[in-house]
């Protein structure tokens, strides 16, 4: 049996995590969820990895939870699974994570994409939270992250009907960062990841943290977080190297120190 999650190194400083269950449209069973969380944790602690791409295959990013696996589960079993803790681990990765979405990103697959920092979608990609159609609701952050990305009224429209929406609609509502031609999504994601990996990892980490921690904070609190972050960076070697390289008109060599 093929591994359900594959690890690749497509470029220097870039790690790629690939969901590999094509026979099930990359449905997210517990094994896949645990492996994604584990690999993201490992890459988050690896100094050689500066940016991460999360993807599936050309037909599906992830078509949702594995319904066959969870259909007979009761309350205690669902609590014991701790799925929300796995999703929290993914969202807490200190490195930038780019979702490269081809095909379907539905239910848990849409929620997984929304835990990432950047979403690049193929022109034919389909998103959705169709859980109400099988008698449940999104349970991996869909009701909250979709609302924060798209606003209450657009989120309600899709959460309450279970309707799917395309890449253009996702881009227009602020869920998708960029649309790429089908067949070039992964290439574009790796290209962007390589670009990020060449920058100062300290600055990138502080920038990500400032955005995420500031999103739901009061403006004054968020601005204070930003101010402290930039002040901290002025004590780094990367700041000295970056500004020296700018003045000397050369490409900087960031060390992460």
Q: What is the reported pLDDT for 65?
A: 73
Angle at alpha carbon of residue 168, lines to 129 and 36, rounded to 5°: 50
Domain boundaries, the chain: 5-197, 201-247
Residue entry with tokens 């295959």: 57
Specify which residues 55 forms β-bridges with: 18, 100
User: Each residue of 60-87: pLDDT tens digit?
Assistant: 999 987 777 666 666 667 666 667 777 7
What is the CATH number assigned to the segment(s) 5-197? 3.90.226.10
| pLDDT for 168 | 98
DSSP assignment of 143-189 equals: HHHHHHHH-HHHHHHHHHH--EEEHHHHHHTTS-SEEE-TT-HHHHH
pLDDT computed for residue 60 by the predictor: 97
Q: Please list the active-site residues.
A: 65, 108, 111, 131
Residues in the chain: 257
Q: What separation, in Å, do the N-terminal and C-terminal C-alpha atoms of the chain show?
A: 42
C-alpha distances out from residue 222 to 227, 230, 257, Å: 9, 13, 25
Q: What is the pLDDT of residue 86?
A: 79
Q: Write the pLDDT tens digit of every residue in 158-180.
A: 999 999 999 999 999 999 999 99
The list of the chain residues with pLDDT below 70 reads 1-2, 69-76, 78-82
Contact between 18 and 102 (Cβ < 8 Å): no
Contacts of 148 (CB under 8 A, 6+ apart): 215
User: What's the pLDDT at 76?
Assistant: 67
Provide CB contacts within 8 A for 187, sequence distance 6+: 180
CA atoms within 13 A on the CB side of 99: 29
Residue 89 has what pLDDT? Answer: 85
Query: How many CB atoms neighbour CB 25 within 10 A?
Result: 19
Rounded to 5°, the CA angle 166-172-177 comes to 85
CATH architecture, domain defined by 201-247? Orthogonal Bundle (1.10)
27/46 Cα distance (integer angstroms): 28
Please state the separation of Cα 55 from the chain's center in Å.
Answer: 9
Task: Record the pTM.
Answer: 0.94
> Residue 61's CB: how many other CB atoms inside 10 A?
31
Question: Any residues with CB less than 8 A from the CB of 90 and at least 6 apart, and which?
Answer: 36, 37, 40, 97, 112, 115
Answer yes or no: are the C-beta atoms of 112 and 37 closer than 8 Å. Answer: no
């Amino acid at each position: 049996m093929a591994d359900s999650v594959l690890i690749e190194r497509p470029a220097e400083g870039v790690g790629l995590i690939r969901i590999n269950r094509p026979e099930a449209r990359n449905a997210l069973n517990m094994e896949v969820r645990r492996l994604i969380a584990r690999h993201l944790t490992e890459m988050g602690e690896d100094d050689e990895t500066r940016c991460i791409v999360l993807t599936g295959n050309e037909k599906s990013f992830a078509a949702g939870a594995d319904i066959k696996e969870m259909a007979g589960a009761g309350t205690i079993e669902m609590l014991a699974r701790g799925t929300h803790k796995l999703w929290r681990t993914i969202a807490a990765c200190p490195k930038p994570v780019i979702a490269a979405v081809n095909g379907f990103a539905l239910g848990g697959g849409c929620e997984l994409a929304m835990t990432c920092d950047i979403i690049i979608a193929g022109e034919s990609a389909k998103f959705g939270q169709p859980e109400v159609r099988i008698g449940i609701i999104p349970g991996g952050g869909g009701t909250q992250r979709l609302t924060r990305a798209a606003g209450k009224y657009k989120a309600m429209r899709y959460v309450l009907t279970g309707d799917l929406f395309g890449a253009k609609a996702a881009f227009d509502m602020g869920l998708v960062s960029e649309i790429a031609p089908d067949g070039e999504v992964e290439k574009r994601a790796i290209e962007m990841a390589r670009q990020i990996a060449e920058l100062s990892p300290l600055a990138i980490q502080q920038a990500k943290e400032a955005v995420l921690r500031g999103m739901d904070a009061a403006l004054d609190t968020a601005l204070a977080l930003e101010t402290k972050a930039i002040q901290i960076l002025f004590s780094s070697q990367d700041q000295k190297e970056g500004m020296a390289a700018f003045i000397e008109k050369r490409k900087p060599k960031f060390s992460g120190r």
